[in-house]
Amino acid sequence: MSATIRLTAAQALVRYLAALSADTAAGVRPLFGGVFAIFGHGNVAGIGEALYRYRDQLPTYRAHNEQAMAHAAIAYAKASMRRRMMACTTSIGPGATNMVTAAALAHVNRLPVLLLPGDVFASRVPDPVLQQIEDFHDGGVSANDCFKPVSRYFDRIMHPAQLLTALPRAIHVLTDAALCGPVTLALPQDVQTMACDYPEEFFAPTTIVFPAQPPSEAELARAAALLRNARRPLLVAGGGVLYGLAGGALAAFAEKHGVPVAETQGGKGALAWNHPLQLGAIGVTGSPAANDLARDADLVLAVGTRLTDFTTGSHSMFGGAKLLNLNVNGFDAVKWRAVEVVGDAGLGLDALSRALALWQSEPAWQARARAAASAWRNEVERITGRRVAALPYEGEVIGAVQRSASDSAAEDIVVCAAGTLPAELHKLWRTSAPGGYHVEYGYSCMGYEIAGGLGVKMARPEREVIVIVGDGSYLMLNSEIATSVMLGKKLVIVVLDNRGYGCINRLQQACGGAAFNNLFDDCTQGTDGAPRIDFAAHAASLGALAENVKTIPELEAALERARAAARSYVICIETDPDRTTEAGGWWWDVAVPEVSDRESVRRAREAYEKAKKQQRP
């Protein structure tokens, strides 16, 4: 009979997590970098005691907001290329539901995070307890059922012995390339404290190896035949290229076969910005180089991308091109009726290259791609090089940040999420290293930026992490500035203050609407009017160093001080809410009212119906 050890459910869970390691590019490391915890009556006595007991093996970090700490954990996993991750524990009620938005973000972006919300008593003896959601039709429902549609795996642990099956399943989902996403284990507070005799072997040190799935020979043969008949192919690189560590395979494929490359938000950085076949961003936020070639391509090889509407121009982008989709996830591989190749990005590209032998795209297509890529690089230099403007805009701020890095630009990691900035960064940010571009745009979640920056810094402490954030996102979620100071994880945060939600204000007017409820000046106001917010003073109150600047030269000087500083540094600059980069871009399907008493809306509807005709069903 095997030896056993008596532990509470919470102690067993924490001990199990602490025993796991991962085989990473940097060697064997703990799979879990730690646990973010905000304690309350649903987890302080159970999970809290267990985390204290094993604090030397599995560090615990205190945060200030549950959604933010989950964002930080997700960013940690993304910055670790999904080879390492974190867990988050909360109390029941608002602590738990605060994490639901972050769970959705992780689900959309295929990123691993282990969520451990407390739950109501399994015994139901003291029902209803403080913060309990009571369902009038289902006695088994709690607030944690909100996690079910936004979790890749969900389990409610009703007895300590259930961990013996639940934990291996959870780790499998968290570390599987195709299944990867958030896992929620709801933990009733009485079950957390119950003891059970667990097999000692359950806690044996284990190293997770991340296997790469090769594509099938049949799918490879079909894909190779399709490519050989193409004269003007375009490769669209998605996040799966990065997570598959396939940057080298991508470059080798492009160079050997003369296939130009465009990049999604998730795939940016998979190929160096100055590679001769790098066309830059594609889609709604794309460069003219990538989008012009996408219009004329006869085949699109999509690698590791979910093919969202921003990539496909709401299915209006690729004209009559055939679509070949290489993806480790079969759900993604069959999108848009593509010819699918299910497998790892690196193995798939290497195998395709072997099958193609000496095949190349037509020389004129390669020449056109190289010329377009070169012209776009020159245009980016011009746009970001402007230093004098009455009121700067995002592109000029991005240029200042890039210049401040000098020769170490490849070592910077830029972090952003929502608003206009992801569009401008997608076009204009230059990175030579995978992971240097960290923009959450699958869920486009306002408030991710600063918390995400913290998670990135925890994963990559040797790199300079630059968070670029709009005033709207800053006001939504900024409390992890204090956490970054407390943990000694320095961030450089550049706040662009355009006095409101400038991105949606422009979209509102592009759809024929009046400027309304987005910029402060267009909002309902009391007698004191809109607030004048001093972001530097606010950040300083959270423990950061901070200053306000007016011009691009002032910003450049402030960035020098920020890079030399020992702790988080916040710089705020006022920006133009109306100006954007004119080059590039594509139509995006945003429905316009069919009937309106405004002439501008009627004109926008007419343009909308005309554009809809370009969509592929």
Q: Are residues 161 and 229 in the same domain?
A: no
Of 9, 12, 32, nearest to 20 by C-alpha is: 32
Q: How confident is the model at residue 1 (pLDDT cuts 50, 70, 90)?
A: low
Residues 302-308, mean pLDDT to the nearest whole number: 96
208, 237, 260 - which closes a domain: 208
For the chain, the domain total comes to 3
Q: How far is CA 331 from CA 96, 308, 325, 334, in A?
A: 29, 13, 11, 6
Rounded mean pLDDT, 548-565:
97
Q: Helix or strand or coil: residue 465?
A: strand
The two structure tokens encoding residue 234: 């375009």
With tokens 């390669």, the residue in question is 366
Whether 599 maps to a domain, the answer reads no
* DSSP string across 563-605: HH-SS-EEEEEE--SS----SS---------SS-S-HHHHHHH
% residues pLDDT > 70 (the chain) = 99
Q: Are residues 364 and 439 in the same domain?
A: no
Q: How confident is the model at residue 406 (pLDDT cuts 50, 70, 90)?
A: low
* 348-370 average pLDDT score: 98
Check residue 408 and give its pLDDT: 45
Mean pLDDT to the nearest integer, 296-315: 96
The pLDDT of residue 209 is above 80: yes
Query: pLDDT (tens digit, 9 = 90+) per residue, 470-525?
Result: 999 999 999 999 999 999 999 999 999 999 999 999 999 999 999 999 999 999 99
Decide if 476 contacts 446 (C-beta within 8 A).
Answer: yes
122 and 242 together in one domain: no
**Full domain range(s) for residue 452:** 386-574
What's the average model confidence in pLDDT over 165-194? 98
Q: Mean of the pLDDT values across residues 358-387?
A: 96
Residue 71 in domain: yes
Answer whether residue 592 is part of any domain: no
Q: Which residues of 392-416 are buried (b: 16+ CB within 10 A; e: fewer)?
A: bbbbbbbbbbbbbbeeebeebbbbb
Tokens 């979640």 correspond to what residue?
445
Do 200 and 57 belong together in one domain? yes
Whether 580 is in a domain gets the answer no
Q: What is the mean pLDDT of residues 244-266?
A: 98
β partners of residue 326:
303, 341
Residue-averaged pLDDT of the chain? 96
- The answer, yes or no, to whether residue 268 has pLDDT greater than 80, is yes
352/226 Cα distance (integer angstroms): 11
Give 535's DSSP letter.
H
Please check whether residue 183 lies inside any domain of the structure.
Answer: yes
The mean pLDDT value for 142-165 works out to: 98
Mean pLDDT, rounded, for 403-429? 87
Q: What average pLDDT score do residues 327-352 get?
A: 95
522 DSSP 8-state letter? G
Question: Domain check: are 10 and 117 in the same one?
Answer: yes
Tracing tokens 């949606």 back to the chain, one arrives at 504
Q: Which of 26-35, 128-137, 145-154 has the lowest mean pLDDT?
A: 128-137
Residue at 287 is within a domain? yes
- At 390, is the pLDDT very low, low, confident or very high (cuts 50, 70, 90)? confident
Q: How confident is the model at residue 145 (pLDDT cuts 50, 70, 90)?
A: very high
Asked if 78 and 157 sit in the same domain, the reply is yes
- CA-to-CA distance for 166 and 29, rounded, in angstroms? 23
The 8-class DSSP code of residue 608 comes to H
Q: Which of 317, 342, 374 is the last residue of a domain?
A: 374
Average pLDDT for residues 203-218, to the nearest whole number? 96
DSSP for 27-91, please give it: EEEESEEEEEE---TTTTTTHHHHHHHTTTTS-EEE-S-HHHHHHHHHHHHHHTTTSSEEEEEE-
> How far is residue 115's CA from residue 146's CA, in Å, rounded to a whole number?
12
CA 379 from chain centre, in angstroms, equals 27
Average pLDDT over residues 80-101: 97
Residue count of the chain: 617
**187 and 77 assigned to the same domain:** yes
The span from the CA of 551 to the CA of 543, in Å, is: 25
Same domain? For 26 and 142 the reply is: yes
- Report in angstroms the alpha-carbon separations of 16 from 36, 111, 163, 167, 572: 17, 21, 10, 8, 44
**Domain co-membership, 300 together with 367:** yes
- CB-neighbour burial class of residue 330 (10 A; exposed 0-12, middle 13-18, buried 19+): exposed
Check whether residue 197 and residue 233 sit in a common domain. no
Identify whether 24 is part of a domain.
yes
The closest alpha carbon to 378, from 438, 288, 311, belongs to 288
Task: Give me the sheet containing 113-119, strands edge to edge.
Answer: 60-62, 32-37, 85-90, 113-119, 182-188, 153-156
For the entire predicted model, the pTM comes to 0.97
Helices first, then strands: H and E counts in the chain: 24, 23
Domain end, chosen from 175, 208, 241, is at 208
CATH number at residue 281: 3.40.50.1220
In a domain, 612, yes or no: no
Q: DSSP assignment, residue 358? A: T
Nearest-CA neighbor of 438 among 99, 49, 111, 146? 111
Task: List helix spans (H) across 434-564.
Answer: 448-459, 471-476, 480-487, 502-510, 535-541, 552-564
Residues whose CB is less than 8 angstroms from the CB of residue 384 and which lie 6 or more positions away in sequence, other chains included: 395, 396, 398, 399, 402, 428
Q: Are residues 73 and 172 in the same domain?
A: yes
Residues 168 and 202 in one domain: yes
- Nearest CA among 396, 420, 449 for reference residue 570: 449
CATH code where residue 484 lies? 3.40.50.970
What are the backbone dihedrals phi and psi of residue 257, each rounded to the nearest 5 degrees, phi first?
-110, 5
Mean pLDDT within 220-240: 97
The string of DSSP letters for 297-309 reads: -SEEEEES----H
Please report the pLDDT score of residue 407 as a whole number: 57
Q: Which two tokens stand for residue 441?
A: 């745009």
